[in-house]
Structure 1
Amino acid sequence: MESWLYILCICLTLGAAIGFMAGLLGIGGGLIAVPALMHILPQVGVTAEKLPHVAIATSLAAIILTSLSSARAHHKRGNIPWSLFRSMMPGFVLGALCSGYISELIEAKFLQQIFAVFVILMALQMAFPFKAESSRDLPSPISLFIAATLIAIIAALMGIGGGVLLVPFLTWCGLQMRYAVGFSAATGLLIALFGSIGYTLAGWGTAGLPEWTLGYIYLPALIGIVTTSMLMAPVGARAATTLPTTKLKKAFAVFLTLVGLKLVFY
């Protein structure tokens, strides 16, 4: 079997797991996709020097369609404060576009270790949720622009949509939780789209990447993940009504911690 076809088949299974867990636990797929892609992409010739970049870029591209679906659902429910979105959008676009070029400046091993530490922190957040709702006013436009830029850079560097960073920040700033979640869904689409563009441009013409790579995005893996994750997310959401999601979240947090520790010392 051709190596790209083999990866496509594996990523169809991976996408199903990502979609189901996203629907069940409400987590971003990047926390699962990036470690898994780091494990399987060497089989198609992705070198260690470019492995984190390709895994993160591919994960980010996979978020585009799932974020679009989520953003549409929240828009229908009136959960997206579009005036705030428009004011912070330039920062998100700038940060996401820059992320691919910033990743080029970071050594692959160090980028992998940064992601590993991030995974461990997200596992702790999952096990012990941070609640920061307050009645304070939103910061000034300049502060919001800086925050949006930094959040977009971090999210796109880690291959995630940014909700795990943005929701706590917005609730701390005084935004109601349902608006913070809806805003995060719309922002995830923006970060994923422009972050993918940034990684595509940054990786364009890079030597040593396998066939079927668009910049740093490995297309067979992307197609596999997107195809089944979109199908399985509603299944996971339905299962959330009957399964003990709180206990499952804590168990998954332990799993993520082990994954993060392995990536630190890999």
Structure 2
Amino acid sequence: MYEVEALILMAISGLVIGFIAALLGIGGGMVMVPALFFIFKLTNIIPHDQMHVAAGTSLLVMVATSIGSVVSHAREGNVVWQLSRRTIPGIAVGVIGGAILASYLPTAALSDIFSVVLIIVALTMIFGFKAQPAERPRPAAMKCSAIGSLIGFKSGLLGVGGGALSVPWLTWQGLPQREVSGTSSTFTLPAAIIGTVAFVFTGLNATDMPYTIGFVYWPALPVAGCASIFGAFVGAKFSRRAPGRLLRILFGLLLLGVSVSMVVAE
């Protein structure tokens, strides 16, 4: 019974998160992880390590949602492949390192770290901090790998996309917004794939959780994944007419509330 309730809540969450993500042009991981965390705690289908399973499952859902984004941006010519090729190796290393560290942290500590990051992202959205674009030469491979490792580490540790770091960095490099979005999407897909695999292997000892392999709850893929894709399709239709600045402020306030709730829940 609780599994059915959990899947219904995941479908609703995926729909809403996909809609908001497309409407505001942000990644959904910052909301997907706490949504899964609360669903696991409320229904008790995941008896322990809820934050770890939420992070691993979020990355799994992100695989499905980011494939379409990469294909779409690639067809439109929005991807600077030179930057992608230079950055992805660092992302791969960072994701694995972040996932390994996460496996050693208790759920309470991981939840607290996520809450702090959530507050930072919320304040950025509320006050509108933005990197100022400027024409700069393409960064060297070593610098791209270093930045990529930070992006990947955050993704692997918290189960989110790297947009909070990659978008300001790509903007600072002087890329137009369409190339920022397109190139950033090529960072998210490998981070999600490698992160999912890492969370599977680091959680193999946790064998008492239903429908999981490692720290990944697999039924969420067709349920939350499909719902978020549909929500993103609808959100994209409304994005041009939406009062973006006001919505970002309201969403930032929502993230602040979520961060406080996560701390209280522990």
**Fold shared, TM-score > 0.5 on shorter chain:** yes
Deviation for aligned residue 1:226:
0.5
Runs of 4+ in structure 1 deviating by more than 4 angstroms, as ranges, are none
User: 2:10·2:220 contact (CA, 8 Å) conserved in 1?
Assistant: yes
Which consecutive unaligned segments of at least 5 residues does structure 2 have? none
The corresponding residue for 1:14 is 13
User: 1:167·1:177 contact (CA, 8 Å) conserved in 2?
Assistant: no
The corresponding residue for 2:167 is 167
User: 2:204·2:215 contact (CA, 8 Å) conserved in 1?
Assistant: yes
Alignment of 1:79-158 (within 5 A): 79-127=78-126, 128-158=128-158
From the superposition, tell whether residues 178 and 239 of structure 1 become closer, same or farther in structure 2 (CA, over 3 Å).
Answer: closer
1:186 maps onto 2:198 in alignment: no
Deviation for aligned residue 1:207:
4.1
- In structure 1, C-alpha distance between the alignment counterparts of 2:105 and 2:89, rounded to whole Å: 24
SS in 2 for 1:137: coil
User: 2:46·2:210 contact (CA, 8 Å) conserved in 1?
Assistant: no
User: 2:33·2:160 contact (CA, 8 Å) conserved in 1?
Assistant: no
Alignment of 1:249-264 (within 5 A): 249-264=248-263
- In structure 2, C-alpha distance between the alignment counterparts of 1:86 and 1:139, rounded to whole Å: 12
SS in 1 for 2:118: helix
1:172-205: CA deviations, max 9, x gaps? Answer: 2344433222110111111111111111111113
Q: TM-score, normalization: structure 2?
A: 0.92
SS in 1 for 2:26: coil
One-letter code of the match for 2:201? Answer: L
The corresponding residue for 1:71 is 70
Q: TM-score, normalization: structure 1?
A: 0.92
My pick for the range that moved more, 65-74 or 91-100, is: 91-100
User: 2:64·2:221 contact (CA, 8 Å) conserved in 1?
Assistant: no
Q: Aligned pair count?
A: 263
Output the aligned Cα RMSD.
1.7
- In structure 2, C-alpha distance between the alignment counterparts of 1:84 and 1:23, rounded to whole Å: 24
The corresponding residue for 1:231 is 230
- In structure 1, C-alpha distance between the alignment counterparts of 2:139 and 2:171, rounded to whole Å: 12
My pick for the range that moved more, 61-70 or 121-130, is: 121-130
- In structure 2, C-alpha distance between the alignment counterparts of 1:20 and 1:52, rounded to whole Å: 23
Deviation for aligned residue 1:11:
0.8
One-letter code of the match for 2:21? Answer: A
